[in-house]
Amino acid sequence: MDFQKIKQIMLIMLKWVFICCLIGIFSGTASALFLVSLEFVTQIRIQNTGIIWLLPIGGLLIGYGYFLSDSRITKGNNLLLEEYNKPEKKIPFLMAPLVLLGTLITHLFGGSAGREGTAVQMGGAIADVCSSIFKLNNSERRILIILGISAGFASVFGTPLAGAIFALEIVFFSRINFKSIVLSFLTAYIAYFTVEFWEIKHTHYSIPEIPDMNFTAFFWIIIVSVLFGFTALLFSRSTHFWGKLFSANIKYPPLRPFIGGIILALAIYFIGTTKYIGLGVPMIVDAFSIQNAPYDFLLKILFTGFTLGAGFKGGEVTPLFFVGATLGSALSVIVPLPIALLAGMGFVAVFSGATHTPFACTIMGMELFGINCGIYIGTACIVAYFFSGSVGIYKSQIVKGPKSILYQSIRKKGLKYL
């Protein structure tokens, strides 16, 4: 190999390392700002519960903001997946500030939503800026989208390994080359350490007791994992149902979150508790040690599906953590496994089923709870993945592999509702 080729390869490598640094640092900083702001508005809501009555006004602000912007932005995470599968237009940078403000407004006034969607969309919008700066082609833009997803996920949850794998698995490793894999991990860690640099703390969870694996334990793991899979299916279908209902019956988009906000505020008032709104992190933490009521996970599904379906902004992943952890906790009354282990399994397994990402969720579980619970976490994620239906929370996600083959076979037998 001559000197010129070596020089060219080195320049290309340096360019991509520089791009990874840019995306990781800017996405990590955006996530740090988001996490601080989210905690700030959450505390305001907790200290002033009457602010929930302003949910319709907040919804109207979000609705008008998105109505006056590029219509593509309303697709959220689905836009990133569509642009990855079929690159056409640059992702509007306006997506980043809009989803940030929309999510903060949602949480300030009491909507039930997460944070992953916000961080991933900010990461994707920031990443795609590089396509213009460095004059990248469509194939290289796919890499940028992976890097944006990786940076956003890793930085907002503090799980760099899971973030890197999630970005690759969410597209089922389609059109992935070795360069994408290496760069995804590099960007995830840069984003993660950027958040660490800003001294932002992530929530810590613990599974203190890991029983020995035996036939009885394995039997119960399969049973509860099937339930986690069905719960993921219910969550996904609920979100899509409310979205279709609002779109079909309220033709003027800004009015959807306004009317939804009125209904949400009344529901929160009559139910007499605020534990099903916002992120619900305190409930998630408590689920690892305190047995939950059997209806907690169902009410979180209802509130989150309605909030996002009405047009409020945020993500689905933290609510999925809530749903899985509280369901696992509730099952501890009949399942002879430690409550923390059941909560941890549900935490990642419901997420796995709803996003079709069992490998990333298994890694995430080991990053959060420790490698000792890996066999329990991994089994739960894989089983839930197969029992969660063919459509997840991201409508534009293309499902491939063994699950796709399984559900094509099921459809041929007439079970189309799966």
Position 398 scores a pLDDT of 76
Position 172 scores a pLDDT of 76
Per-residue pLDDT of 121-131, as tens digits, reads 999 999 999 99
Per-residue pLDDT of 39-52, as tens digits, reads 999 999 999 999 99
* Stronger pLDDT, 405 or 75, i.e. the higher one: 75
Q: Is residue 70 scored above 70 in pLDDT?
A: yes
Position 417 scores a pLDDT of 53
Joined tokens for residue 151? 């940076």
Position 415 scores a pLDDT of 59
Helix (H) or strand (E) holding 264: helix 255-271
| Dist. CA 64–CA 68, nearest whole Å | 6
| Dist. CA 152–CA 190, nearest whole Å | 11
Position 390 scores a pLDDT of 85
User: CB under 8 Å, gap of 24 or more: what pairs does 83-92 form?
Assistant: 83/128, 83/141, 83/145, 84/142, 84/145, 84/146, 84/171, 85/171, 85/174, 85/396, 85/398, 87/138, 87/141, 87/142, 90/128, 90/131, 90/132, 91/124, 91/125, 91/128, 91/145, 92/125
Position 405 scores a pLDDT of 61
Per-residue pLDDT of 194-224, as tens digits, reads 999 999 999 989 999 999 999 999 999 999 9
**Residue-range domain boundaries for the chain:** 3-197, 215-412
Position 6 scores a pLDDT of 85
Joined tokens for residue 266? 């009344």
**What average pLDDT is seen over the chain?**
94
Q: Is residue 338 scored above 90 in pLDDT?
A: yes
Average pLDDT rounded to a whole number, residues 68-72: 91
Q: How confident is the model at residue 179 (pLDDT cuts 50, 70, 90)?
A: confident
Position 30 scores a pLDDT of 98
| Dist. CA 349–CA 353, nearest whole Å | 6
Q: What is the DSSP letter of 337?
A: S
| Torsion from C-alpha of 193, 199, 205, 208, nearest 10 degrees | 90
Identical fold, 3-197 and 215-412 = yes
Per-residue pLDDT of 399-418, as tens digits, reads 766 666 666 665 666 655 55
The residue among 304, 347, 352 whose CA lies nearest residue 324 is 347
Per-residue pLDDT of 348-396, as tens digits, reads 999 999 999 999 999 999 999 999 999 999 999 999 999 998 889 998 8
Provide the residue type at 350 as one letter: V
| Dist. CA 198–CA 384, nearest whole Å | 36
CATH architecture of 3-197: Orthogonal Bundle (1.10)
Joined tokens for residue 345? 């399994």
* Stronger pLDDT, 4 or 115, i.e. the higher one: 115
Lowest mean pLDDT, pick from 104-113, 296-305, 392-401:
392-401
CATH architecture of 215-412: Orthogonal Bundle (1.10)
Question: How crowded is residue 365: how many other Cβ atoms within 10 Å of its Cβ?
Answer: 29
Position 71 scores a pLDDT of 87
Position 406 scores a pLDDT of 60
Average pLDDT rounded to a whole number, residues 335-352: 98
The residue among 62, 146, 66, 73 whose CA lies nearest residue 111 is 62
Contact call for residues 119 and 150 (beta carbons, < 8 A): no
Stated pTM of the model: 0.95
What contacts 241, CB < 8 A, 6 or more positions away?
A: 305, 309
